[in-house]
Copies of this chain bind each other. A is one copy, B any other.
Amino acid sequence: MTTAKTLEIKVQSSATAVGKMRNEIDVFAKFGKDVRYNLSTDEGQFHGGDSTAPPPLFYFCAGLTGCFMTQVRAFAKKMQIPIDGLKVDGLFQWRAHLSETDPYVGAPVGFDFEIAIDSPASAEDIARLVNAAKQGCFIEQTMRTVNAIGHRVTLRGEVLDL
């Protein structure tokens, strides 16, 4: 008999804008035990920052790459498909339309992985594994979905209507 259960994943961030463009960001979760990292961001001079930390998009790209790779290895164990090596090159593209008067609107353009797997397994098993990892990766699944993002803004003690 297959017994199924649900795993709830909750991550929190607490962030303060400092300096010109730097954001001091603490990220924390209860993953088995408490896990906490400072993952601050900054921008380069071209975007008005001081280059003291990685740009936000870099964290996004690392998270997406690492999430997929983690699922390949986690599911390889579960599916008993041996993996001796895994390398992934990612290319992530966006576009913005700039005007001199209005703020720009950003848009995703494309996200692509080149994946090199070293394994004695059959092509069918590796395809099955990669497809399972795509479905298991929380970030890829988020990107395949239209998500509402909540913004509750407080100004001088009052909650704003957006």
Contacts and interface: CB of A to CB of B under 8 A. Distances in A.
Interface of A: 2-17, 20-21, 23, 25, 27, 29, 31-33, 35, 37, 39-41, 43-48, 51, 54-67, 69-75, 77-79, 83, 85-117, 119, 123, 126-127, 130-155, 158, 160-162
B140 A153 contact: no
Residue of A65, A94, A114, A162 contacting most chain B CB atoms (<10 Å): A65
Contact of A90 (B12, B111, B127): B12
Contact of A127 (B77, B133, B161): B161
Contacts of A39: 54, 58-59, 62
A11 to B, nearest CB: 5
A86 B23 CA distance: 9
